[in-house]
Structure 1
């Protein structure tokens, strides 16, 4: 039998940690002297201590190690836990790699482009939401108000409850920029179920990953904002996935003063 100090030296596990293992039932001493309280371990428990230490070095928590020790009787039983941990760590490594890339590109671009500091780009997921949607061809981009007026008129009789938060946005479906006859869809997020109207359709929009930039002021800023987002997408190894859209946090309908408008430009993306 080995006293706790000797067992600690041989297993290379601190006395403090061995006591903790005992408290949680992970590695219980072979015997405890009733009068002195000394803990004694058997030489055979060194293999168990080494197994615990190996699993810890792989990133398993103590609670998970305890579960593994209770359930794994055959080598094949352990493999399923190792496979799951490997997949989890690979996902974490991929996330860290992207975070490192984002830091690297941000540091590199600091000071290189004036608009970068003014229009900071972030990556986020737009949640699944129910929306009232209206899509039409309109004469030009600055005629988008026609769609909002029509949507408001057709929803008047249904007492539609807006969601919280309420996303009010416009999606631009044309492949490129057009001088006229532009394909625009507007959406506003709602709570509840409602009947479609002649032009307004209610639908569920799935979550989407976007690179976005928020700016305050008039819409003439859209070109440098787009440049900032496009450069971010390029530098951080993403591809465009769907049509871009703008979220109107403070729109002309809320405040007629362009200086107070707040718009978020969003580009759906997928990793390369």
Structure 2
């Protein structure tokens, strides 16, 4: 039998933590002296202590560890616990990576773009013939789904691009949506083509917009939206239809976010 101090050294678990494990029935001493209250452990309890430490290092809670130890010899149940924890960690790593990207973008703006300003202009985009796909996507960042459908259904048509060729997405909802976002992707082309299941060819009307073109990651786009709306209020304009983004340089051309070139367009009219 091992005294608690000896067991602590061999298991590399502090005496304080061993006492806590005893209190929550996770790892109980083999014997407690009823006169001195000294705790004693058997040598064959060391593997269990090692399992507890390993599971803690994987991020399992003590409650989960207790459940795992109860089925530790059942490989199928053990695999279920490990698989569920792996999924949790993958999701956590993806969320962390996204937050790190946002943090990095914010730091870059602090260092390099202290005097950043966005130039807003009024322009008229003429009538244009375009391939369009209108659909509901899960979230705003899922725009790629719409372009994927367009490419898949027009791949064999040898579409002739207009000059200039504009690729854009119009946001049809009247408010910000956390999910189920209604959008229409469009690409200007020349010629005549038959509609497909999802791709419709139509002439889009002339539109007057407040336009702001910027270079950089899509993480900046909320700032650009804000700048455009502030400009509208300051210059006597109001929105006149769903806004859209024209992607002059997109992930289709480069995988470097700092090289993206996006034109934010708000259809407008003069306030009466």
Same-fold call, TM cutoff 0.5? yes
Q: CA deviation at 1:199?
A: 0.1
Q: CA deviation at 1:267?
A: 0.1
Find the counterpart in structure 2 of residue 16 from structure 1: none
Q: Distance in 1 between matches of 2:115 and 2:130?
A: 32
**Alignment of 1:190 onto 2:172:** no
Number of matched pairs: 159
SS of structure 2 residue aligned to 1:159: coil
Cα deviation 1:66-102 (Å, max 9, x = unaligned): xxxxxxxxxxxxxxxxxxxxxxxxxxxxxxxxxxxxx
Q: CA deviation at 1:206?
A: 1.1
1:167-246 → structure 2 map (5 Å cutoff): 167-246=166-245
SS of structure 1 residue aligned to 2:155: helix
Q: Distance in 2 between matches of 1:115 and 1:197?
A: 48
Find the counterpart in structure 1 of residue 134 from structure 2: 135
Q: CA deviation at 1:236?
A: 1.1
Q: Distance in 1 between matches of 2:205 and 2:180?
A: 28
Cα deviation 1:180-208 (Å, max 9, x = unaligned): 11001100000011000000000001110
1:158-169 → structure 2 map (5 Å cutoff): 158-169=157-168
Find the counterpart in structure 2 of residue 266 from structure 1: 265
1:82-161 → structure 2 map (5 Å cutoff): 117-161=116-160
Q: Distance in 2 between matches of 1:259 and 1:218?
A: 5
Q: Distance in 1 between matches of 2:115 and 2:242?
A: 22
SS of structure 2 residue aligned to 1:203: strand
Find the counterpart in structure 1 of residue 27 from structure 2: none
8 A Cα contact 1:214 1:263, kept in partner: yes
Residues 129, 116 of structure 1: alpha-carbon distance in 2 compared, 3 angstrom cutoff: farther
8 A Cα contact 1:212 1:264, kept in partner: yes
Residues 116, 237 of structure 1: alpha-carbon distance in 2 compared, 3 angstrom cutoff: farther
Cα deviation 1:193-240 (Å, max 9, x = unaligned): 100000000000111000011111111111110111001111111111
Q: Distance in 2 between matches of 1:258 and 1:118?
A: 19
Q: Distance in 1 between matches of 2:130 and 2:115?
A: 32
Q: CA deviation at 1:116?
A: 8.7
Q: Distance in 1 between matches of 2:115 and 2:143?
A: 28
Q: Distance in 2 between matches of 1:159 and 1:208?
A: 28
**Alignment of 1:254 onto 2:253:** yes
> How high is the TM-score relative to the length of structure 2?
0.57
Find the counterpart in structure 1 of residue 99 from structure 2: none
SS of structure 1 residue aligned to 2:163: coil
8 A Cα contact 1:216 1:260, kept in partner: yes
8 A Cα contact 1:167 1:247, kept in partner: yes
Q: What runs of 5+ residues in structure 2 fail to find an aligned partner?
A: 1-112
8 A Cα contact 1:115 1:225, kept in partner: no
SS of structure 1 residue aligned to 2:193: coil
